[in-house]
Structure 1
Amino acid sequence: MALAQRMVGGIALSLLASSALAQIVNINALTTTPVTLSLDAGAYRVLPINSAGGGLYDAWLAWDVVNCSDPQGCAATAPTTVMGWINRYAITSSEIAAASAGGLPLAPVSSAPTLPASPYSHFLVSGSTRRVVVWDGYVYPTSGPAFAAADVATFTLASASSVVFSHLDPLVTDNEGGMSLRVERLPACPGDADFNGVVNFTDLTILLEAWGTDEAAADFNGDGLVNFADLNSLLDAWGQVCG
């Protein structure tokens, strides 16, 4: 685990660096082969990244033509009438018990939404299938704005499991790009930034050191930014012991 040391009030504190407990997933849109990770039970955050964050991709194109010209994005349709770069990715495991996208919880559904839908993100539970699909429901003229609009996701595994990350496109011959994701373990309970089972001064210090960044250990609501919402979560949990 990568750690950064700080001295506060004469006490040495081990602060989680942004790379701690993280794995990078690169989903290649030119192949149907997904990426599989073996993960322990617990909560995880999935953060879209680009080359600046250590990834290979920033977004992907599912067609060999782009007809969306609006940099703010064009609503995707079914059947397809507008084409462009997209930020969709999927997380699949039989052990997913809960999920969120864009900072909002996803209620289980038995079928995918109908396009146009913004956001399109959903938590599909059908038979033995448990899949979180994360997508804002838009296509973009270039990969840059598609990446900028990509949503952060969280999911919770009820038990240790293989977790599959994919783009869900069965036809890849005209595809381009891919999605890069940073998968990070979240504290067992909001506020426990140092993973020691109690919410206290050390956790507050870690949060303040991480203020304004995307540090997963202090991003208690999983929205990709350490801010006042996370501070409120920590203060609400102050003094609590969690497993």
Structure 2
Amino acid sequence: MAALAPTTAVGPLLRDWRRRRRISQLELALRADSSARHISFIETGRSRPSEEMVLRLAERLDVPVRERNSLLLAAGYAPRFSETALDDPALDALREGLTRLLRGYEPYPALVVDGTYTVVAANRGIAMLLDGLPGKLLAPPLNAMRITLHPEGLAPRIHNLREWRGHLLDQMERQLALSRSPALRELYDEVAAYPPAERARPERTAETSVDGDAAAPRFALPMRIEHDGHVLSFVSSISTFNTPMDVTVAELAVETFLPADPATVKYLTSLMP
């Protein structure tokens, strides 16, 4: 494949990723079946890495797929990973599989978001939680972080908002450490600046819910959210695709909300038997 004109030196970019991962040149060399001398030459620009070496180093450094394309361009090679629109017919099987997954998880909430938390699919459990929110927050494109933390969104309904907000902001900060996405940085700055939401009713203790049920033991940080006079308790799980070969697919994440107590299971089942 003919080399392209590099837009910036690949060496400093690889060095930056290595430092982010907090590993030495020797450790990276061992992981990539190379030598510390060769890694040093690449980082300082004394040696131009092959396309295979760029991809191997990116894999060993766990560089996101989008950024691997940037590394290839910086080294003078064509991008290796496509970025297919989610509505492209080539992704029909993916969309169908995700739809089945979300429906199969009902009555519990589940959704799919992209790399900037735009909601690309959701099930009826999510729709139930969003019931009653103002139209301006529900207008497409829906953004999961904005809907959750906005003072007119779900925030006033979340009983442990301080803890849950801290968890979400920490999650975004970890993403920003691995991504150069201006859109994600803009979203983070927006939601982090939201004023504290005013709760519609006094905060309950951790021992009891609105229904008077004893709270379940904590095995993970729950989101305790009120719905129609009931406090529902969920722990979330996020799944991504293994070995993605497309930027769009690599940035998709499936978030499922597992009921954290029997009362939540009983309530959701009564709504959507």
Considering the TM-score relative to the shorter chain, is it more than 0.5? no
Q: Which has the higher contact order (CA 8 A, sep 6+)?
A: 1
Question: Normalized against structure 1, the TM-score is what?
Answer: 0.26
Larger radius of gyration: 2
Question: Normalized against structure 2, the TM-score is what?
Answer: 0.24
Structure having the higher helix fraction is: 2
Structure having the higher strand fraction is: 1
